[in-house]
Amino acid sequence: MLVIGIALLMAIPALSGLTSATPAPSPTASSTIVLSALPVLFVPHPIQHVFVLVMENSQAPAVLRFLTYERYLAATYSYADNYYAVCHPSSPNYIALTSGSTFSQCKKETLVPGEYNTTNIGTLASGAGLSWSAFVQSMPTACSPDSVFPYAADVNAFLYYPNIWDNKAYCKAHDLTFSSWYNDVNQSLTNPSAIPNYALFIPNLLNNGHNTNHNTSDLWLANFVNTWFLDRPFMSNSVLFITFDEGIRANGYSADGTHIVGGNVYTVAISPY
């Protein structure tokens, strides 16, 4: 799996002003999927924010066939039909997504905080003077290595880089809970720079499709994306990638016949471009 958004992230110019809107509401549960799109009034500007949201454990054809909201997004925005995860199980895919490599540990399921001594997209962003955050749903506290259901620490990739993990103040400033994202969105109404240049979103095990059926995760995704992204002024200069960590537990093949263990996974780019 390639590192989604690194090229875009490194090309982000200085932040420009955004128009204000009414304060963001808290997420609410709904049993109906609302099919919303970016407002036509959004005139594209140079991309300044790259967001990546990772769902779990479904092959692309199944997502497109059965999941209403994700099928709608694929038809409405830019869809990558030849995108593959690289591993099974989950954890190495998150490492590849944030560092560009699995370090030949494609079958490793249990990770140790700080074990991957390598450059990653977070430290690349900091080195370029850009802001970044990981927003991890249901994590008990910032930068927590303790899995407390429905939070799974093994997919919180930034805990496994020593240049983040060993600097606890830095880790706690960047590896955050979802409530920090809600605060950032609200603050962005008067302070556009509250929105990070790069953000990784990790839903919990009840919402990412890991421990529930995918219709439940599709409904959650529709509510989350519609509420916290699509009607927000910052989306006029942003791109939101939605992808999956891996497909079915079987070997897959890319278009050129390369053996890919992780399978063909759904990936869509939501942007006014």
The 10s digit of each residue's pLDDT in 180-223 is 999 999 999 999 999 999 999 999 999 988 888 888 999 999 99
**β-strand pairing of 49-55 with 132-136:** unpaired
Task: Tell me if 103 is assigned to some domain.
Answer: yes
Task: Tell me if 82 is assigned to some domain.
Answer: yes
How high does pLDDT run on average in the chain? 85
Task: Tell me if 11 is assigned to some domain.
Answer: no
Distance of CA 93 to the CA centre of its chain: 12
Task: Tell me if 3 is assigned to some domain.
Answer: no
Global pTM? 0.84
Task: Tell me if 127 is assigned to some domain.
Answer: yes
How far is the C-alpha of 103 from the C-alpha of 89, rounded, in Å?
14
**Mean pLDDT, residues 50-67:** 93
Q: Is the pLDDT of residue 269 over 70?
A: yes
Task: Count how many domains the chain has.
Answer: 1
Q: Could you tell me the CATH number of the domain that includes residue 224? A: 3.40.720.10
How far is the C-alpha of 45 from the C-alpha of 24, rounded, in Å?
22
Task: Tell me if 30 is assigned to some domain.
Answer: no
Instruction: Say what the pLDDT of residue 39 is.
Output: 61
Q: Is the pLDDT of residue 18 over 50?
A: no
How confident is residue 225, by pLDDT bands cut at 50, 70 and 90? very high
Tell me the two tokens of residue 38.
């970016």
Task: Tell me if 2 is assigned to some domain.
Answer: no
Range of the domain at 252: 47-270
How far is the C-alpha of 103 from the C-alpha of 199, rounded, in Å?
23
Three-state DSSP class for 266?
coil
Task: Tell me if 8 is assigned to some domain.
Answer: no
